[in-house]
Amino acid sequence: MSENKMKKTILKIKENLSDFAEGFFKEQAAGILEKEIEDFNDMFMILCFGDLLGIPTPASYYTLELLPYFIGEIDRWESRINRRSKVFSERCARYDFCC
Amino acid sequence: MTSVVEKVIGKKFTFFSGKGGVGKSTCAAATALFISENDRKTLLVSTDPAHSLSDVFNKKIGRSIFSITEHLDALEIDPSFEAKKYVRRVKSDISGIISPVLISEIKKQIEIAYLTPGAEEAAIFDKFIEITQNKKLNYDNIVFDTAPTGHTLRLLSLPKILGVWIDSLIEKRRKIVQLKKSVDRIYGRKGKNNEDPLLSLLLKRRSRFELARKILLDKNRTCFIFVVTPEKLSIAETKMSVELLKKYKIEITGLIINRITPEVKNGSPFLEKRRKIELQNIEHLNALLKVNILAKIPLLDMDIQGIEQLRKLREYI
Ligand SMILES: Nc1ncnc2c1ncn2[C@@H]1O[C@H](COP(=O)(O)OP(=O)(O)OP(=O)(O)O)[C@@H](O)[C@H]1O
Ligand SMILES: [Mg+2]
């Protein structure tokens, strides 16, 4: 292998490695943000559908017009909320101390 | 011009409130009539789901504007009609937004909207906002005949309650949108830069609630008249309402004392006694509430129905 070729290969490996590291950290950062989005989404949903969960809200009437914008998310949210233990373990896992 | 008319004629919006059966509808109708006879285009609106304006005028007033005289129109808000109209609008908006598969799922949710406990009051509240904002309705005065106290206090407190609710929804949604943008940035995705449609819908709603709140708090445009009878319970309820409204920063413009037992020559001891108690109650009311008494109306010897009979109240109102 010529010196030139060697240099090129090392460079290539370096590039791949940093791509990998970057991807790894990106994934992790995005994961944290996505969990946070989920939290805000939970609060949003509870404010909207509190009446269905037994918390009456004077505003249920107005959530109707919001429905079309998150109808796709409702199923996912509903089943997650229904599996409370899962919700709980999710939360614990996030802090790395149990479950 | 007499006291009540003089007080409210310069205000665009006048609300009549008070305990059940004290004469809110009668006083609101008479006031609206007398305002309109001062050459001002006037609209009388009932926000009471159990309407009685039709009875007061002995005419079939409904959910669309009904002309009573040249300058006076009336309208009885129909909450279930307004709710249906709202549901219909959402249903037709939906088809542009989501896939047909989800539409069948959402239909179930939409039907629930009819049944939520607050649907009726929300529907009335929305129509109230629409009436105050509709530029096509160019009235000089709009007079609201409201439902008995509790109902009305709810209605008047809605802008604040709903305001708090929608503020927190907006805050959460803003956060979500912002976080989603951050995720996009991490992946170097070119996120959609346009306004989040859900957020803009919430902001639009909030500005409607805000408009209602502004009107209710604007002393230059809006006044509140409480009708009270010279009875302990009616006075106690009025005191409570005045205090509650103060919490929402709404100030009562004045009171109308209605159905005062009149002085009758050679009257029976029964009536005399009744009169004395009422006078005591009115004194008590004066001491209890620092609110102007704008009119005192005697109990008439008949029910008040139709324009001719309403005119009998002119000398008092
Ligand atoms: N001063 C008066 N003299 C005689 N009758 C009166 C007087 N004021 C009101 N009435 C009659 O009392 C009845 C109830 O009045 P009105 O419908 O105006 O009360 P309201 O406060 O609007 O009642 P609701 O709480 O049911 O809406 C009506 O039949 C009306 O004609
Ligand atoms: Mg009435």
Q: A76 and chain B: CB distance < 8 Å anywhere?
A: no
Rounded to whole angstroms, the Cα distance separating B219 from B222 reads 5
Classified as helix, coil or strand, B135 is coil
Cα of B46 vs centre of ligand 2, distance in Å, is: 8
- Measuring CA to CA, which residue among B259, B276, B159, B168 is closest to residue B218? B159
pLDDT at B138 over 60: yes
Q: Does B185 touch chain A (CB under 8 A)?
A: no
Residue with more model confidence, A24 or B307: B307
Write phi, then psi, for A91 (nearest 5 degrees): -65, -40
Q: Looking at CA atoms only, how far is residue A42 from chain B in angstroms?
A: 10
Contacts of A19 in chain B (CB under 8 A): none
Find tokens 């929305």 and name the residue: B126
- CA nearest ligand 1 atom 6, residue: B303
Torsion of CA B150, B151, B153, B155, to 10 degrees: 170
Q: How many CB atoms lie within 10 A of CB B231?
A: 15
Higher-pLDDT residue of A83, B150: B150
Query: Among A43, A64, A71, whose Cβ lies nearest the Cβ of B102?
Result: A71
**B295 touches B316 (CB < 8 A):** yes
pTM, two decimal places:
0.86
Q: What is the pLDDT of residue A99?
A: 46
Q: CB-based contacts of B240: which residues, under 8 Å, 6+ apart?
A: none
Q: Which amino acid is at A7?
A: K
SS (H, E, C) B143-169: EEECCCHHHHHHHHHHHHHHHHHHHHH
The overall average pLDDT reported for chain B is 91
Instruction: Give which of B296, B15, B312 is closest to B151, Cα–Cα.
Output: B15
Ramachandran bin of B23, using left for φ above 0, alpha for ψ from -120 to 50, beta for the remaining angles: left
B202 touches chain A (CB under 8 A): yes
Q: Spell out which residues of chain B touch residue A71, defining contact as CB-CB under 8 Å.
A: 98, 102, 105-106, 109
Q: Which of B294, B304, B260 is nearest to B53 (CA)?
A: B304
**Residue ranges with CB less than 5 Å from ion ligand 2:** B 24-25, 52
Interface check A70 vs B, CB under 8 A: yes
Q: Is B277 on the interface with A (CB under 8 A)?
A: no
A-B contacts at Cβ under 8 angstroms = 110
- Decide if B279 contacts B231 (C-beta within 8 A): no
Domains delineated in chain B: 3-81+118-313 (3.40.50.300)
Task: Indicate the angle between helix axes B119-133 and B149-186, nearest 10 degrees.
Answer: 90
Given this model, what pLDDT does residue B212 score? 92
Q: Which atom of ligand 1 is nearest to the CA of B227?
A: 21
In contact, B28 and B8? CB cutoff 8 Å? no
Higher pLDDT, B196 or A94: B196
Q: What confidence tens digit (pLDDT) does each residue in B170-204 have?
A: 999 999 999 999 998 888 887 666 789 999 999 99
The string of pLDDT tens digits covering residues B145-156 is 999 987 888 888
Q: Which residues 6+ apart lie within 8 Å of B139 measured at CB?
A: B12, B41, B42, B43, B73
Query: Of A18-22, B18-22, B178-182, B195-199, which gets the smallest average pLDDT?
Result: A18-22
How far, in Å, CA of B226 to CA of B15, rounded?
A: 8
Distance (Å) from CA B190 to ligand 1 centroid: 66
To 5 degrees, how large is the angle CA B275–CA B280–CA B285? Answer: 120
Pocket probe mutation, ligand 1, options B304, B307, B309, max atoms within 8 Å of Cβ: B304
Q: Which residues contact B102 (CB under 8 A, 6 or more apart)?
A: A71, A72
Q: How confident is the model at residue B16 (pLDDT cuts 50, 70, 90)?
A: very high
In chain A, what residues touch B173 (CB-CB under 8 Å)? 40, 44
- The pLDDT of A40-68, averaged and rounded, is 79
Burial pattern B121-154, b for ≥16 Cβ within 10 A else e, equals bbbbbbbbbebbeeeeeebbbbbbbbbbbebbbb
Expressed in angstroms, the distance from the first to the final Cα of chain B is: 9
Q: State which residue of chain B sits closest to A66, comparing Cα positions.
A: B198
Query: Is some CB atom of chain B closer than 8 A to the CB atom of A26?
Result: yes
Q: Where are the alpha helices (DSSP H) in B53-196?
A: 53-57, 79-94, 100-115, 119-133, 149-186
Q: Which of A59-63, B41-45, B232-236, B301-305 has the lowest mean pLDDT?
A: A59-63
Cα(B170)–Cα(B80) distance, integer angstroms:
28
**Cα distance from B133 to chain A (closest Cα, Å)?**
19
Distance of CA A59 to the CA centre of its chain: 28
b/e B205-224 (16+ beta carbons within 10 angstroms → b): bbebbeebbebbeeeeebbb
Q: Report the pLDDT averaged over residues B206-232.
A: 95
Ligand nearest to the CA of B19: 1
